[in-house]
């Protein structure tokens, strides 16, 4: 329905056809000429624009809030179009060795689908599943790799040292780690 906002019905027919296919578009245009349909369409459109204005989509994972941040090198790592040393993966996460290790063991844990999590600060209740899963994977990998004591770090923002804007957890182990960190 958002695709059919009145503004978009002004699109050239070929563009509309690409959005929804010619049959649906011609049905939709025919229906719009009926006042009762046009009225309902307008009401739904208005309600959905309010959702946009109030950022309501952001709370509904996969439901309209698009991940518009730039792609990062981690997308290429997930797609395996650039190599990485993978330690663990499942359908949701990838764990691989950091290319510039800050400790004898330095792993990165990332969600395969970023889903607006370019930074941890954009997490909502809808991300609890993936965030919890990432932590469970850290524990599993730490145990399987025999890491012993380790530190888990998330840099959130450039001022905190973040360089790659695709949420990742650093797992550091294999040497004494001092506190406070730099
Ligand atoms: P951050 O500074 O928290 O954003 O961490 C990004 C991390 O990604 C750094 O520790 C980098 O060394 C690491 N990194 C960048 N490119 C690669 C790559 N191609 N393979 C593995 N790790 C990488």
Are 85 and 160 contained in the same domain? yes
Are 79 and 36 contained in the same domain? no
Cβ neighbours of 39 (radius 10 Å): 10
Taking the C-alpha atoms of residue 163 and residue 161, their distance in angstroms, rounded to an integer, is 6
- For residue range 25-62, what is the model confidence (pLDDT) as tens digits? 888 888 888 899 888 888 888 888 787 777 676 666 55
| Number of folded domains that form the chain | 2
- For residue range 118-175, what is the model confidence (pLDDT) as tens digits? 999 999 999 999 999 999 999 999 999 999 999 999 999 999 999 999 999 999 999 9
Are 169 and 79 contained in the same domain? yes
Q: How far is the CA of 49 from the centre of ligand 1 (A)?
A: 38
In a domain, 63, yes or no: no
Q: Given a cut of 80, is residue 82 above it in pLDDT?
A: yes
Kindly list the distances between the CA atom of residue 105 and the CA atoms of 23, 101, 173, in Å, as whole numbers in the listed order: 57, 7, 5
Taking the C-alpha atoms of residue 41 and residue 20, their distance in angstroms, rounded to an integer, is 16
Are 101 and 160 contained in the same domain? yes
In a domain, 92, yes or no: yes
> Do 138 and 152 touch, CB atoms closer than 8 A?
yes
β-pair partners for 172: 106, 151
In a domain, 59, yes or no: no
Are 101 and 46 contained in the same domain? no
Kindly list the distances between the CA atom of residue 6 and the CA atoms of 1, 26, 42, 46, 100, in Å, as whole numbers in the listed order: 10, 15, 8, 10, 51
In a domain, 118, yes or no: yes
Q: Best mutation site among 71, 74, 78, 99 for ligand 1, i.e. most ligand atoms within 8 A of its Cβ? A: 99
In a domain, 179, yes or no: no
Are 44 and 119 contained in the same domain? no
Q: Given a cut of 90, is residue 4 above it in pLDDT?
A: no
Are 166 and 83 contained in the same domain? yes
Are 38 and 99 contained in the same domain? no
Taking the C-alpha atoms of residue 148 and residue 150, their distance in angstroms, rounded to an integer, is 6
In a domain, 48, yes or no: yes
Residue 107 belongs to a domain with what CATH number?
3.30.428.10
Q: How far is the CA of 85 from the centre of ligand 1 (A)?
A: 12
Ligand 1 binding residues, C-beta < 6 A:
73, 84, 98-100, 108, 155, 161-164
Q: Given a cut of 60, is residue 75 above it in pLDDT?
A: yes
Are 41 and 109 contained in the same domain? no
What is the span of the domain harbouring residue 34? 2-54
Give the number of the atom of ligand 1 that is nearest the alpha carbon of residue 164: 4
Which backbone phi and psi does 170 adopt, to 5 degrees? -90, 135
């Amino acid at each position: 329905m958002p695709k059919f906002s009145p503004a978009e019905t002004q699109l050239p027919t070929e563009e509309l056809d690409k959005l929804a296919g010619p049959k649906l578009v011609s049905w939709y245009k025919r229906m719009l000429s009926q006042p009762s349909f046009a009225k309902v369409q307008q009401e739904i459109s208005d309600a959905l624009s309010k959702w946009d204005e109030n950022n309501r989509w952001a709370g509904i994972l996969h439901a309209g809030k698009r991940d518009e941040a730039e792609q990062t090198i981690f997308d290429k790592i997930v797609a395996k179009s650039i190599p990485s040393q993978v330690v663990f993966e499942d359908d949701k996460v990838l764990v691989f060795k950091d290319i510039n290790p800050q400790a004898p063991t330095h792993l990165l844990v990332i969600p395969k689908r970023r889903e607006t999590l370019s930074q941890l600060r954009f997490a909502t209740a809808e991300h609890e599943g993936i965030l919890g899963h990432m932590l469970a994977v850290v524990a599993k990998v730490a145990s399987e790799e025999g890491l012993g004591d380790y530190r888990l770090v998330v840099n959130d923002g450039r001022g905190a040292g973040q360089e790659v804007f695709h949420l990742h957890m650093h797992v550091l182990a294999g040497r004494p780690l001092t506190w406070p960190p730099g």
